[in-house]
């Protein structure tokens, strides 16, 4: 195994966190010589702002705490204790002298991963489909409560990267939607909910981790790809600001306590040592005050990553269980020998403690960690990887509360009715025939496959680290049968896809209403399911779902199709068949799956979910795809985001391409009328660029320069195998570093200004003391209202959507800027109201390096989807 050097001796390429501009690709790669995308250096790393709005109190508490710490204790906060070292997927070192326990970092964005007596919530993509801020918040809060109840300090979600550039992207379902505004709102609500419940949220993966293929070298090599560096997502400045960065800014503005940097490179610089991403975009321009933690094994350098803005190394070892770290002892050494200034380590510690205090945690009342990620056994080694300290490690604490009803509601509200010829809602059907493996259980149990890495039985969630263990999984078959019995309907189900004889015999009977359940699955790259290395290989249904639908609908003229999937699938071959009387997308609903879909099918919940992505007719019609093959020899695969801001509906609109169902689309059991669009203009004054300077970098406390104070105190406690400590092995600094190249000075390998702690000029686009960029961006420039009338016979929720055309020749036809979910009684008229901020009307100007409202005439649209823009008016 290749172990990287602990203290980096780096080529110019890695040090700068950037490749050499216009470097030629080795001709042996047989590629054309071309300029590689390049990431500009931005140093020094911004330190916390004591006046940052929303952080003032947390800052004061952190200052009081961090000022008491020794250098070793500060380092202990920044560095994970190693893979499997204790109970959580990641833990920091503790500070026993002051009573601070080890902080627990734990997946996942839809439930506490790897434990028991927790809930499995609907995945992000289903929450997005609710278009309901309240449900987004309540889910975030419930997730926070469960994490808190297990002793988790930082819950590793929500996800805005992947955003969903390619519909095949394996982890899209962990996030929300390829629309940055919808995702941004979902991020902010989830962050607020989670943190209000007392747990630090983690906005991940920042940024450009849009596919699983080639995200990690070892993982890709395991699949047989001969590569030496991870994929580079090559994203231009405008696309970065207007698409991929956007939802992270919303998370920052909502006060998120941590951000996880990515495995992949951005413009040929690794995500966790990319000073453009971390120093410039996140901390300087957007005023992020929390801490940046690495994705697991995404750190590749020591001092260079510290200077580029990384604040916490996870899980702390260079590679899992190497027993070595880029930080730990090496971070201690870097400060001791002057390679890294004290202020940078102090700032890391400040950011970590401020996030901790900000969510209401206290040193005195930390919840003990009462589960082990590594086993469900009650007793086992506390130090899991080392097999040491056998004791009770699982309390089996039930943290579910009454979350089942919320889960049921979210999944029902997030179910999208794509087609309905009048067969729905069901009303005491005489004979219900339910068909398909996706309606039934996994015969080996809902948790049979580790991290849900298989597609057996009904699909509740995808696979990977973004999963949790089901406390139960209500299958569609169970819930529909229970309802049928209650109604006196005849009910039979065939929970197989391959049983043509039996299925035909059943569904061709008189009075059959057939409901066919089909699915497609995807997940994280470290698990390969049926040949899909995380990313989907295609957009078709799994397990010959198309054939199943076509067969059933050829035998039964009242066939209803329900789809569980992480995103779009191709419906082209059958969606318009007259025998297919209804189609529903039930996303990834979580543990209450069967109850939620039954609620919708029977009209207990009138569907109001909206598709958070476009359903194209072909895979090619999306214009973007996963890069499945190496394209740069065995060097970093290059993925150019050459489509710019044109993904999903922006792309389909630009190409003037027909779609099967558009972004924002979804039917109801009632009908709505849109009228009376009104736009009110507010006087907000001019945009004021931020000016001025920061304070100089503060330090908190002193550190001893006596090397003897840093040696492992073996008389005080035993050394645990593979555990990552902040201590040196001996007073021999070079030997303790484990680095063959020890001894280079900062000047020799760090970029200019990396260690400059003097006052720094503020960016014009930044918000002096306001996280989320220049506060003038959030000035409300217009209020838009419209009347929505329920013209049908039943009560229902409508999701009016506000779109804008920004007017320029390069601008998308429309972009989503607002929405609401409104309850409307039959015959009732309600008012939809949304605001347009300056940010909503701005474009990123790459010359000025700021947001500007262009001179182009702009237009506002309100309607029930991105292509049904019923009302429109010019903005003046
Ligand atoms: C994933 C993260 C996850 C971490 C810890 C990584 O491989 O990309 O999303 O939080 O592992 O499990
Ligand atoms: C772990 C995940 C982690 C992944 C990293 C897996 O073995 O279970 O938590 O995200 O490795 O590749």
Residue 29 has a pLDDT of 39
Residue 749 has a pLDDT of 87
- Show Cβ contacts of residue 854 under 8 Å, excluding neighbours closer than 6 positions: 806, 807, 808, 843
CA of 219 to the centre of ligand 1 (A): 13
Encoded tokens for 197: 């419940």
Strands in 859-863's sheet, in edge-to-edge order, are: 815-819, 801-805, 859-863, 871-874
Residue 34 has a pLDDT of 57
CA of 316 to the centre of ligand 1 (A): 13
Residue whose CA lies nearest to ligand 1 atom number 12: 465
- Output the ligand 1 site: residues, CB below 6 A: 89, 107, 156, 204, 295-296, 465
CA of 489 to the centre of ligand 1 (A): 46
CA of 465 to the centre of ligand 1 (A): 6
CB 641 within 8 A of CB 634: no
Residue whose CA lies nearest to ligand 2 atom number 10: 465
Residue whose CA lies nearest to ligand 2 atom number 5: 296
Reading phi first (left if > 0) and then psi (alpha if -120 to 50, else beta), residue 255 is in left
Encoded tokens for 691: 């000016």
Q: Which of 295, 521, 653, 850 is catalytic?
A: 295
Any atom of ligand 2 within 6 Å of the Cβ of 465: yes
CA of 320 to the centre of ligand 2 (A): 10
> Quick one: 805 exposed, middle or buried, by C-beta within 10 A (0-12, 13-18, 19+)?
buried
> Quick one: 27 exposed, middle or buried, by C-beta within 10 A (0-12, 13-18, 19+)?
exposed
Summarised one tens digit per residue, pLDDT across range 151-199 is: 999 999 999 999 999 999 999 999 999 999 999 999 999 999 999 999 9
| β-bridge partners, 585 | 416, 563
Pairing between β-strand 416-420 and β-strand 528-529 as defined by DSSP bridges: unpaired
Pairing between β-strand 559-564 and β-strand 580-587 as defined by DSSP bridges: parallel
Any atom of ligand 2 within 6 Å of the Cβ of 209: no
CA 39 vs CA 26, 267, 644, 751: distances in Å: 20, 5, 17, 13
Whether 295 sits among the annotated catalytic residues: the reply is yes
Residue 741 has a pLDDT of 86
In the chain, which stretches have pLDDT less than 50?
A: 1-33
Ligand that comes closest to the CA of residue 156: 1
| β-bridge partners, 632 | 634
CA of 138 to the centre of ligand 2 (A): 28
Any atom of ligand 2 within 6 Å of the Cβ of 89: yes
Which residue from 597, 410, 616, 439 is spatially nearest to 519, judged by alpha carbons?
Answer: 439
Residue 35 has a pLDDT of 82
From the alpha carbon of 204, which atom of ligand 1 is closest? 9
User: String of b and e for 770-780 (b: at least 16 CB within 10 Å)?
Assistant: bbbbbbbbbbe
From the alpha carbon of 174, which atom of ligand 1 is closest? 9
Residue whose CA lies nearest to ligand 2 atom number 7: 526
Any atom of ligand 2 within 6 Å of the Cβ of 239: no
Reading phi first (left if > 0) and then psi (alpha if -120 to 50, else beta), residue 689 is in beta
Ligand that comes closest to the CA of residue 108: 1
């Amino acid at each position: 195994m290749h172990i990287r050097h602990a203290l980096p001796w780096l080529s110019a390429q890695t040090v700068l966190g950037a490749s050499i501009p216009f470097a030629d690709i080795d001709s042996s790669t047989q590629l054309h010589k071309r300029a590689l995308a390049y990431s500009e250096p931005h140093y020094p790393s911004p330190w916390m702002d004591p006046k940052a709005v929303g952080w003032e109190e947390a800052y004061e508490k952190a200052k009081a705490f961090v000022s008491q710490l020794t250098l070793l204790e500060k380092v202990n906060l920044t560095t994970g204790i190693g893979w499997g070292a204790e109970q959580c997927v990641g833990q920091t070192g503790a500070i026993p002298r002051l009573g601070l326990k080890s902080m627990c970092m734990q997946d996942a964005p839809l439930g506490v991963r790897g434990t028991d007596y927790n809930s499995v919530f609907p995945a992000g993509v289903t929450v997005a489909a609710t278009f309901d801020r309240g449900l987004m918040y309540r889910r975030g809060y419930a997730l926070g409560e469960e994490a808190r109840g297990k002793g988790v300090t930082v819950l590793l979600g929500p996800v805005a990267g992947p955003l969903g550039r390619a519909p095949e992207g394996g982890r899209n379902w962990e996030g929300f939607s390829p629309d940055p505004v919808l995702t941004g709102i979902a991020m902010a609500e989830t962050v607020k909910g989670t943190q209000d419940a007392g747990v630090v949220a983690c906005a991940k993966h920042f940024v450009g981790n849009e596919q699983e293929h080639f995200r990690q070298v070892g993982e890709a090599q395991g699949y047989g790809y001969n590569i030496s560096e991870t994929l580079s997502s090559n994203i231009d400045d405008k696309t970065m600001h207007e698409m991929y960065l956007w939802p992270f800014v919303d998370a920052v503005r909502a006060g998120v306590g941590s951000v996880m940097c990515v495995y992949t490179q951005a413009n040929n610089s690794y995500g966790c040592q990319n000073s453009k991403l971390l120093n410039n975009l996140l901390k300087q321009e957007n005023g992020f005050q929390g801490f940046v933690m690495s994705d697991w094994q995404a750190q590749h350098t020591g001092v260079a990553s510290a200077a580029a803005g990384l604040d916490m190394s996870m899980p702390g070892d260079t590679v899992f269980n190497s027993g070595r770290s880029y930080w730990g002892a090496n971070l201690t050494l870097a400060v001791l020998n002057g390679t890294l200034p004290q202020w940078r380590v102090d700032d890391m510690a400040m950011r970590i403690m401020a996030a901790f205090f900000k969510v209401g945690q206290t040193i005195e009342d930390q919840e003990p960690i009462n589960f082990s990620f590594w086993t469900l056994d009650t007793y086992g080694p506390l130090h899991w990887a080392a097999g040491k300290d056998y004791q009770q490690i699982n309390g089996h604490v039930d943290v579910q509360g009454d979350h089942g009803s919320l889960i049921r509601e979210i999944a029902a509200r997030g179910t999208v009715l794509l087609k309905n010829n009048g067969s729905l809602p069901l009303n005491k059907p005489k004979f219900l025939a339910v068909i398909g493996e996706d309606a039934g259980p996994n015969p080996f149990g809902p948790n049979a496959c580790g991290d849900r890495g298989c597609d057996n039985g009904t699909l509740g969630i995808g696979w990977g680290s973004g999963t949790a263990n089901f406390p139960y999984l209500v299958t569609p078959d169970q819930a529909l049968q229970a309802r049928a019995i209650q109604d006196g309907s005849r009910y039979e189900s065939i929970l197989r896809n391959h049983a043509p004889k039996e299925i035909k015999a059943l569904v061709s009977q008189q009075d059959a209403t057939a409901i066919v359940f089909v699915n497609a699955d995807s997940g994280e790259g470290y698990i390969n399911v049926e040949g899909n290395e995380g990313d989907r290989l295609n957009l078709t249904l799994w397990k010959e779902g198309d054939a199943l639908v076509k067969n059933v609908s050829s035998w039964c003229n009242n066939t209803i199709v329900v789809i569980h999937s992480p995103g779009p699938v191709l419906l082209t071959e059958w969606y318009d068949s007259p025998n297919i009387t209804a189609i529903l997308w039930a996303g990834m609903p979580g543990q209450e799956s069967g109850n939620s879909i039954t609620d919708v099918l029977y009209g207990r919940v009138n569907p109001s979910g909206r598709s958070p992505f476009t359903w194209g007719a072909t895979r090619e019609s999306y214009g973007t795809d996963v890069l499945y093959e190496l394209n740069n020899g065995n060097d970093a695969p290059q993925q150019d985001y050459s489509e710019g801001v044109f993904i999903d509906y922006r792309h389909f609109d630009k190409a003037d391409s027909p779609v099967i169902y558009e972004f924002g689309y979804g039917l109801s059991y009632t009908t709505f009328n849109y009228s009376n669009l009104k736009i009110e203009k507010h006087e907000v004054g001019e945009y004021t660029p931020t000016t001025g300077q920061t304070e100089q970098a503060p330090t908190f406390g002193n550190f001893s320069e006596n090397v003897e104070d840093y040696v492992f105190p073996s008389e005080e406690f035993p050394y645990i195998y593979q555990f990552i400590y902040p201590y040196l092995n001996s007073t021999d600094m070079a030997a303790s570093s484990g680095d063959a190249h020890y001894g280079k000075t900062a000047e020799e390998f760090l970029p200019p200004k990396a260690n400059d702690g003097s006052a720094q000029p503020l960016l014009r686009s930044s918000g002096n003391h306001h996280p989320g960029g220049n506060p003038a961006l959030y000035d409300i420039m217009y209020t838009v209202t419209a009347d929505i009338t329920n013209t049908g016979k039943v009560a229902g929720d409508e999701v009016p959507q506000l779109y804008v055309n920004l007017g320029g020749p390069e601008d998308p036809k429309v972009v989503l800027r607002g929405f609401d979910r409104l309850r409307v009684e039959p015959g009732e008229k309600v008012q939809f109201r949304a605001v347009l901020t300056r940010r909503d009307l701005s474009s990123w100007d790459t010359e000025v390096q700021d947001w500007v409202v262009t001179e182009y005439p702009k237009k506002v649209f309100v309607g029930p989807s991105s292509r049904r823009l019923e009302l429109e008016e010019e903005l003046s």
